[in-house]
Amino acid sequence: MIEAVIFDMDGTLIDSEPMWKEAERFVFSSLGVDVTDELSCQTAAMTTREVTEFWYNVFPWSGRSLEQVENDVVDRVATLIATEGRAMEGVKTALDFCQSKALKIGLATNAPARLIPVVLEKLDVAHYFHAVSSSEYEIQGKPDPAVYLSTVKKLNVEPSACIAIEDSVSGIMAAINANMKTVVVPPVAEYSDKKYDIADIKLKKLSELPDVLQSNCMAAD
């Protein structure tokens, strides 16, 4: 029986991936980095620190520390989210259902911790969540399971009694490595990609989650 549902944030709750790309292109280009689309695709699932280290290794810069540059990126993303952020389709439908079933609701993200309240407040969903965790405070980000295990501990449930909602392969792997059931809502253009078949269930949008939980007897009555 499922006791808790844990959501990823970027690309799952909020359509923020374009904002990350815009912020990274702006900040790194200002340092002389040639931010190509090909290389940028390699950074999509990384933590902000990993992205900063990636670009520094490819195009070393001078004048600003990695920590300063990382903060520049996060600051720009926070501004973009606050002004332009939009929820992914079906977010409140999914959260309302989980709440109606008295399921504990958590969040586990690779994004820096200070972006969590920015996103939850922008989407007006902060009141749904019982626990949130960021990989910023873990030794490794997803696909390492640490951020999921931290959230599970805060929720006081067993991993096997949780279902993780993700949009990326690295996120699915993190949840699998944490011994959780997995639901993936891939980017629209990648829905048919077989790489997402490692998840237990694949959805086109979050609004389908209630029917899936009901039909699979995953939610408490």
Helical axes 66-84 vs 115-123, angle rounded to 10°: 0
Three-state SS for 152? helix
- Tokens 């237990």 locate to 200
CA distance 131 to 151: 6
Give the residue numbers marked as catalytic: 8, 10
Q: What's the rounded Cα separation, in Å, for the pair 67 and 83?
A: 24
Q: Which residues are bridge partners to 109 per DSSP?
A: 134
Provide the edge-to-edge strand list for the sheet that holds 162-166: 131-134, 104-109, 4-7, 162-166, 181-184, 201-202
Q: Are 39 and 46 in contact (CB under 8 A)?
A: no
Distance from C-alpha of 124 to C-alpha of 141, rounded to nearest angstrom:
26
Q: Tell me the one-letter amino acid at 33.
A: V
CA distance 64 to 28: 11
